[in-house]
Chains A and B, each alone.
Chain A
C-alpha cells in the first residue's frame, strides 16, 4: 500500500509558482527524502501534504485520505516536525508533550506512560521538568521529534530535522530516525539540503529544484546514472578541453561549469592518464584534477548545472537563532 500519493500538486503564491506539478508515490514503510536547495519548495510541499496549506491545483492522499476533502483524517495519521521551532518555551518538556497528548485525545493513563517512554527514547527524561527555554537546539529538536511520535502516527513528516545542529547531535538524531523506521515501521518523509543526510537515511530521494522534481530514485541509482566515477578538472581552457575529449567512448557524460569540467565514467583511474595526455598534446593547461565516487552533489550538479551550497544553510541557522534571541 502507498503511504502518500501525489498527483500534479501545484502551489502558487500570486504569480510565483513555488511548487510545480509534483507527482510521486511513497510506499508504506519507506524513508523518502526531498532534497533541494533553499527555496526549492520543500517546505511548501510538506505544508500542503500536512493540510497546513491549500494546493492551487492537483491532488494528494496521505494514508489514503484526501488532503483537501478529508483534512481531519490526514491530521490524525501524521506527526510533523516543522522546519521552524514550534514548542512553547514557557512550558516544560513534559507539559509540551502533555499538551500535545491532550490535543490528540490520548487518554490520561496511556498518555503519561507514552510521554515518559518517548522522553526516555530521546534522552530527555532527566530534564522533563525544565522549561524549554533552557534547552539547547539539539534538545529542542529531539523533544519535537518525540512529540511528533506521541500519537503514534502512521507517517512522520520531518522538515529539515537536523538543520543547525552540530555533527554529533545530527548523528544521534539520524540513529533515532533509522530506528523509528526500522522498529516501528513508520513511514518517514523528510526534507533536507544535506546530501549526507539524504544519502544515509533515505530509501529513495526526490531531488527538487525550483518547485520541480528533477530526479527521483535510490541514492545508488542516481549516482550510478552519472557514471561509476567522476573526474573533476579545473582548467582555464575548459571549452577547448571539452571539444577535445567529448567523443571518447568511455565517457558517459561531460559537463562544463564555471571554473571546472566534470566527467562521468566507469573506472576513472584507467582513463585519467589518457585524458591528461590528450590535454597536454593539445597544449591545454590543467590546474588540478581529482577523481571521486559520485555523490548526490554531483547528481544535483548534473541535473541543474549548480551545486547545492551547504553554506546556504548557515544563513538559515542564523535566522533560527535570531528568531530565538529576539524573544
Chain B
C-alpha cells in the first residue's frame, strides 16, 4: 500500500506544481459552460429541467473535465517512458500492479480535483445543489470516471511508443466518448440508433450519475449508472494492469 501511496504522491505533487496545465485544462470546459450554457439557455428548454439548459450541462461539463484530465494523466506514462523515469520505477523491487494502481489513484485524484473546480465555478453560475448526499453521490461518480479513464489512459500508454498517436486517440476515442455521452443533450431526444450508441458509452452513466447527484433527477436510474460504471472501472483497471505488466522500455 505504501508503494501505491508513493506513486500517488508523485502524481499529485506534479499536478499541483503545474499550475499552467491545471488552468489550461480548465479553459475548454469553462468556455463550453459559458458559450453553451448562457448562449443556449434561453433558446433550449429541456422538459423537467428546473435549472434550465445550463443546469443540464453542468454535470456534463464536470464529467468532461474529469474525463480529459484522467485520460491525460494515464497517458503521461508515455512521457515517463520517453524521459526515462519509468525505468527507475520498473527496476525497483515492487510489483507492476502496485505501480499501475498508484498511477491510477494519482490520476483519478487530479481528475476529481479538476472536476471539483468546475463544480465550484458552476456554483457561481447559478447551480443549486439538491442535497449534501446528492453532492457525495456526484463525487462518487466523479471518482469512478477518474479511475476508469486513468486506467484506460494507462492501457493505451502501455501500447504506445510515443506521443504521436495521442492526437489520434483524442480525436477518435475521447471526443466521441464525450460527444455521445449525453453530456450536452438529453438521451431521449435522440433517434433510436444514436440512443443505442449513447447507452454503449460508459461516460453516459457517469454523466447521468452526477446529474442525479447534483440536480436530483436523471434519465437513467442511478443504481444502474452506478453498477455499469463500477463494472467498467473494474474492467479498465484489469485491462490497464494487464497491459502495463507487459510494458517494455
Contacts and interface: CB of A to CB of B under 8 A. Distances in A.
Interface stretch (A75-83, A115-123, A175-183, A258-266): A75-83
Nearest to A100: B88
Contact of A75 (B83, B84, B92): B92
Given A103-B92, A105-B2, A52 B87 contact: yes
A50 interface: yes
Contacts of A90: 13-14, 17-18
Interface string A78-119: 101010111111110001000110111100000000000000
A97 B180 CA distance: 44
B interface residue count range (under 10 / 10 to 19 / 20 to 34 / 35 or more): 20 to 34
Contacts of B13: 90-91, 95
A286 B93 CA distance: 61
B159 interface: no
Contacts of A75: 91-93
B91 A88 contact: no
Contacts of A51: 91
Nearest to B17: A90
A327 B18 CA distance: 14
Interface residues of A, number: 28
B182 to A, nearest CB: 36
A239 interface: no
A288 B84 CA distance: 47
Interface in A61-87: 72-73, 75-76, 78, 80, 82, 84-87
Given A88-B10, A103-B3, A82 B87 contact: yes
A105 B84 CA distance: 22
Contact of A104 (B85, B92, B249): B92
A201 to B, nearest CB: 23
A72 B93 contact: yes
A72 B18 CA distance: 34
Contacts of A147: 88
Contact of B93 (A76, A102, A323): A76
A104 B94 CA distance: 8
Interface of B: 2-3, 5-6, 9-10, 13-14, 17-18, 83-94, 249
The 3 closest A-B pairs by CB, nearest first: A75-B93, A86-B84, A102-B6
26 contacts: A52-B91, A72-B93, A75-B91, A75-B92, A75-B93, A76-B93, A82-B84, A82-B87, A82-B88, A84-B84, A85-B83, A85-B84, A86-B88, A87-B85, A87-B88, A89-B83, A90-B17, A95-B10, A95-B13, A99-B9, A102-B2, A103-B92, A103-B94, A104-B92, A105-B2, A323-B83
